[in-house]
């Protein structure tokens, strides 16, 4: 699997970290003050936390970038966070982590969600990154005299038309803005 494919997987898994917490809360047995399915809960939370850390460290410390690009148009994509709500709604129905068929079915459903979000480029809308202050924009920009349209992840305020920035590719069609208005 290419590095870009792995980054898409980590971005997808990290987006569902809150769902892992919801499953852990639902599995907690207050009578015995412990989880009914300890190994499953710890595994799911560990995978989610590791994915969040990898994504956070990637966007925080990734500094190598391309020559500046010029932004020609910007539209916000962060409002599409509602697309992630379907798996969260499922968690409020009967979800018994001890039922293998249910876990396999949910795993298959999440794989289909991953595939669909990857193919529609909605994988980059990530509520965990939004909580960390990152916004996602659909950006048209000029690079080497050619115009492109991709998704930019940026911490802080919205990019403006005519603004220059340096970017680095995180995944297919997703770029991280590493520097705004750089001096050339």
**Predicted local confidence at residue 77, as pLDDT:** 67
**Predicted local confidence at residue 91, as pLDDT:** 63
**Predicted local confidence at residue 3, as pLDDT:** 44
Which residue ranges in the chain fall short of pLDDT 50? 1-3
**Predicted local confidence at residue 16, as pLDDT:** 83
**Predicted local confidence at residue 65, as pLDDT:** 67
The percent of residues above 70 in pLDDT, for the chain, comes to: 80
Q: Cα-atom radius of gyration of the chain, to the nearest Å?
A: 19
**Predicted local confidence at residue 122, as pLDDT:** 63
- How crowded is residue 52: how many other Cβ atoms within 10 Å of its Cβ? 21
What is the C-alpha to C-alpha distance for residues 131 and 151, in angstroms, rounded to an integer?
18
Domain coordinates in residue numbering, the chain: 3-180
Q: Which two tokens stand for residue 121?
A: 């480029």
Helix, strand, coil % in the chain, rounded to nearest 5: 45, 25, 30
Q: Which of 22, 19, 139 is nearest to 71 (CA)?
A: 139
What is the C-alpha to C-alpha distance for residues 140 and 147, in angstroms, rounded to an integer?
7
List, in sequence order, the alpha helices (H) in 34-95: 38-61, 85-90
**Predicted local confidence at residue 1, as pLDDT:** 37
**Predicted local confidence at residue 2, as pLDDT:** 46
Q: Which of 65, 60, 51 is nearest to 7 (CA)?
A: 51
What is the C-alpha to C-alpha distance for residues 73 and 149, in angstroms, rounded to an integer?
9
């Amino acid at each position: 699997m290419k590095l870009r494919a792995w980054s898409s997987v980590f971005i997808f898994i990290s987006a569902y970290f809150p769902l892992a917490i919801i499953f852990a809360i639902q599995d907690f047995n207050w009578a015995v003050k412990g989880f009914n399915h300890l190994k499953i809960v710890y595994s799911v939370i560990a995978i989610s936390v590791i994915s969040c850390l990898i994504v956070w460290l990637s966007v925080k410390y990734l500094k190598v970038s391309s020559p500046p690009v010029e932004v020609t148009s910007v539209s916000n994509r962060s409002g599409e966070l509602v697309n992630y709500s379907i798996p969260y709604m499922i968690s409020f129905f009967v979800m018994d982590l001890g039922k293998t068929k249910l876990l396999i079915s949910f795993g298959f459903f999440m794989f289909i969600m991953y595939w669909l979000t990857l193919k529609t480029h909605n994988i980059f809308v990530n509520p965990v990154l939004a909580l960390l202050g990152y916004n996602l924009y659909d950006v048209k920009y000029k690079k080497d005299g050619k115009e492109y349209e991709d998704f930019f992840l940026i911490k802080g305020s919205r990019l403006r038309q005519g603004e220059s920035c340096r970017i680095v590719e995180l995944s297919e069609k997703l770029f991280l803005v590493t520097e705004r208005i750089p001096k050339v």
